[in-house]
Amino acid sequence: MRPAVFLGLPLGKAFEQKLAPRYTILTDPARKGEAEALVTIGAVEMGAEFFDTMPKLKLVCCFGSGYEGVDIEAATARGIKVANTVGANAATVADLAIALLLASVRQVVAADRLTRAGKWRGDNPAPLLFLRGLTGRKVGIVGLGAIGMKIAKRLEGFETEIAYHGRSEKRGVPYRYFPDVLSLATWADTLILAHRADETNRHMINADVLAALGAKGHVINISRGSAIDEDALIDALKNGTIAGAGLDVFENEPEPRTDLITLPNVVVTPHIGGGSSEAIEAMGDAVIANLDAFFDGKPLPNPVTA
């Protein structure tokens, strides 16, 4: 009898066609209690109460690298393994990080609007003509995992200085390490958030960090919205504490704060960092690899532990 897999989100016919030969696919929430495996996203809250609704559950596969919503201890106590697809969408997310950075630094959205309005740089062209570019900037990357490393490699082509902060210093990388985010922001004039977000780093980017970044600074977030204190960010953008921000993620998704997304010096996208066709296919393949390994009694390719 084929193991039952509950799909907590729609992943398309191509994914289901790959899955169907080996697994019974469940999509009706009323039948999730029959499932031995769950495919979902890491932002979904999964604690003891949730797991009690799925008594046969043996494996949670997070579609993407995040697993902040999963209570790993509660899962472990019930003998439930947790896996993710870390690295599968790293290139695509890194691409968007660079796109947001360039858009913020060069005010691409504002320039687009002026051009469409027939104002050709506006009545006073100086703000757009004399912006500081990307070359020579000091870029601090928070989190030098699969995504952070690809961001760093892309930034090398823009002739920037690169440094990073993470839980520990990585051996064999050519970038300077800072032991905390505040010291990294003090050195940098640009921050890119590419770390795994959870309650331990909630509002890590606060008023002090933004002040340290400085008036020419930009912050780019393709990690999780919880990493930034949005009250502090709004104040910093309004008061000129920093120059701009590029955000793909927000604290309140899918309804980000109006007083944030309507600011003229912020560029926003609707959490599409890992949303390219090739990345979605790669993440789907990684989910199937985790499922196949687990039910074949082999080690998980991408295990998540506490």
Candidate list 165, 195, 218, 224, residue with the active-site label = 224
Catalytically annotated residue among 159, 271, 278, 281: 271
**Bridge partners (DSSP) listed for residue 5:** 25, 37
- What is the rounded distance in angstroms from the CA atom of residue 25 to the CA atom of residue 22? 9
Q: How far is CA 202 from the centre of its chain?
A: 14
- Residue 280 class from Cβ within 10 Å (0-12 exposed, 13-18 middle, 19+ buried)? buried
Contacts of 25 (CB under 8 A, 6+ apart): 5, 7, 16, 19
- Residue 21's identity, in one-letter code, is P
* Enclosing H/E stretch for 177: strand 176-177
Q: Give the type of residue at 40.
A: T
| 127 contacts: CB under 8 Å, gap ≥ 6 | 107
Structure tokens at 159: 């002739």
Active site residue 218: no
Query: Which residue in 45, 49, 156, 253 is the catalytic one?
Result: 253
Task: Determine whether 224 is an active site residue.
Answer: yes
To the query of whether residue 271 is one of the catalytic residues in this protein, the response is yes
Query: Which residues are known catalytic residues?
Result: 224, 253, 271
